[in-house]
Amino acid sequence: MMNLKRGGLVVLALSAGVAAHAGITLSAKSTFGNFGGPGGAGWYSPGEGGNAFIGTAGLERGLAYSSATNKLYMLSRNGGVNIRIMNADTGADEGNLNATGISGGTFAANMIASDGDGNVYAANLTTNTNTSALKVYRFGPADLTGGTPSTTVFNSTITAAGTSRLGDSFDAMGSGANARLVLGFSGSNGYTVITPGGSATTSNAIASTGNGDFRLGVTFVGSTAQVWGKQTGANPGAAPLRRTTSGVLDGSSTLTSGGEMAMDYATVGGFNLLATLDANSSIVRIYEVTGSGAGTTLTLRSSLTTTSGTLTANGNAAGQVRFGAISGNKATIYAMSSNQGVQAFEVAVPEPASMIAIGFGIAAIVRRKKK
């Protein structure tokens, strides 16, 4: 807050960050998931409307949003590799991507992600990258309506310590030649960053982190050099969020629940936000991120689930949460905790103009008191 004197009038100018503490809201996306299920708006519940690709058998784990098509993509292993195209506004199923040629690994495809160009990537699951290749496939914008098959952009073993399982967490960022992919290890510590069509840079000896600290949740944060990760734990302190820059630990943060795992980061209306998904309750939480490096602070601003009733347990703690379209001070968020359906939310942050109005309102009060 700044105190500016103008002709005897004290003007209190508030920055957007000051009012953010009470002004970040999360609500159900009212147009999404209205297909006769038990939960109503904002939740596409398992099996709703006869959809065989949103079930309770642990077969749906991957979710991505493409800015190129304004579509949501969900990976299901029900009956093979199915990457279902979903209407981003309603959740309606609009067909399947062409999965021809996707094969190999413990699961031929498990998680998906999208980069800054709207390309959608699908990664397999390998339980030991030292002996079994990690494979990643790319669907370009022209491939995202279901016609042409994907292009293989990575197919290689990766040398790492321990039983180096990859494919439970996945994120993408950047455009063109600067696009990067990240996957977190299980059975080894750290993660690997991949250049599509190029090489893998493995950071699996990060000091002060344990095995699997990036296994179930991983996200780029503002740049491809910054990677944060999370796994589930008995309590928040047992499985903290890990923050790294260029493979070096910046610090750790304690979140609200040990069940938080999948995560995604975005800047909305000038506010840096981290969205997390709780595998136990399907609660999505929004944290405001301030500071950087060792001085980073995460503050819980809002939380919500659109689910209802008794949920089928997500025994593998698998799933993904994704920011969708971002416009001004609003954004859409999608979340899928395996066995618990797909949720859609709208997040809003304070508009700068409203902050100015609040500042002038306070200034007017101050002026009246001085009369």
- 9 and 148 co-located in one domain: no
- 73 and 110 co-located in one domain: yes
Query: Residue 258's closest CA among 238, 275, 276?
Result: 238
- 212 and 156 co-located in one domain: yes
- 13 and 36 co-located in one domain: no
Q: For residue 62, how many other CB atoms are within 10 A of its CB?
A: 26
- 82 and 3 co-located in one domain: no
Q: Which domain holds residue 152?
A: 25-349
- 115 and 48 co-located in one domain: yes
- 359 and 231 co-located in one domain: no
Distant-in-sequence, close-in-space partners of 159: CB < 8 Å, separation ≥ 6: 129, 130, 202
Task: Quote the CA–CA distance of 286 and 47 in Å, as a whole number.
Answer: 28
DSSP 312: P
Q: How many domains does the chain have?
A: 2
CA distances from 89 to 10, 235, 333 (A): 46, 35, 11
DSSP 367: H
Q: What is the CATH number of the domain that holds 336?
A: 2.120.10.30
- 8 and 38 co-located in one domain: no
Q: What is the dihedral of CA 24, 26, 27, 28, to 10 degrees?
A: 150
Backbone CA torsion sign across 236, 237, 242, 243: positive
The pTM of the full predicted model, rounded to 2 decimals, is 0.89
- 170 and 71 co-located in one domain: yes
- 220 and 363 co-located in one domain: no
Could you read off the pLDDT tens digit of each residue along the chain, which spans 371 residues?
A: 333 322 333 332 333 333 334 599 999 999 999 999 887 799 999 999 999 999 999 999 999 999 999 999 999 999 999 999 999 999 999 999 999 999 999 999 999 999 999 999 999 999 999 999 999 999 999 999 888 999 999 999 998 887 789 999 999 999 999 999 999 999 888 999 999 988 888 887 787 888 899 999 999 999 999 999 999 988 888 889 999 999 999 999 999 999 999 999 999 999 999 999 999 999 999 999 999 988 999 999 999 999 999 999 999 999 999 999 999 999 999 999 999 999 999 999 998 755 444 444 444 443 443 44
- 164 and 296 co-located in one domain: yes
- 10 and 85 co-located in one domain: no
